[in-house]
Amino acid sequence: MKFINPNTPLDQFLRAAPEQRSLFDNLGIDLRHERNKSFADVCQKHGLDRQTFVRLLTAMQKTPPRPVVALELMALTELCDYVEHAQQTHLQEELARLDQLTGAAAEQSGAEHPQLLRIRETFVAFRERFAAHLREEADGLFPLIRRLTTDEKGALPARSALKKRLARMGNAHNQADEALAELRALAGEESLRHPVPAAVRTVSDAIVRLEQAVHEQIYKENQVLFPRALAIGGSA
């Protein structure tokens, strides 16, 4: 990619690379008020080395996108490993990020914006329920699915029991989706007093990121992993 011109406005850059917005948020750069400024001006204001910052962003844009994974072509154990790895890495990272952001926002701005306290309380409740669901999958469901492809089928549940267990996991996914929608609504600008602080914008963006990660995980499980497991379990 062509090297970024330090005189390029942030707005122009972000239209071409919206995925880099989180980097600006983490550096404390309020894009609502500074997106029309150039890289050079923003770096000077925030005490950042202009050349290093521009080179970093250029290098990040050169990073190839994640390859498309053909889930349908994976063996069941390979698919289970892939889903569990994504759950333990990307999903956990987004949960930890939102935990830190909601806690800091509630502590720093909760008195002025009580809605931030509600967002924090709602997230903590969601996190506890969702963490329990993830543990149930990691400790029980995923090992069970892996055993479906082994010769040790004597202790496996009947197809009806497996179907009920997968249905319970699906219900937990629906509940997670509803809880995230509630979080997103609480963080919506229309529900907050104006002007909306930068912390709220950052929390809102993090909620969207977590929601996307959860939806990706739910799709992999509901639409690919669970049907495959049920098909093999039914023939066991």
H or E, element range at 128:
helix 115-136
Reduced to 3 states (helix: H, G, I; strand: E, B; else coil), residue 190 is helix
24 burial class (0-12, 13-18, 19+ CB within 10 angstroms)?
Answer: buried
Rounded mean pLDDT, 193-219: 81
Rounded mean pLDDT, 3-13: 77
Tokens of 5: 């011109």
Whether the per-residue pLDDT at 61 is higher than 70: the answer is no
CB 209 within 8 A of CB 183: no
* Reported pTM: 0.67
User: What pLDDT score was predicted for residue 59?
Assistant: 66
Q: How far is 47 from 25, CA to CA, in rounded Å?
A: 15
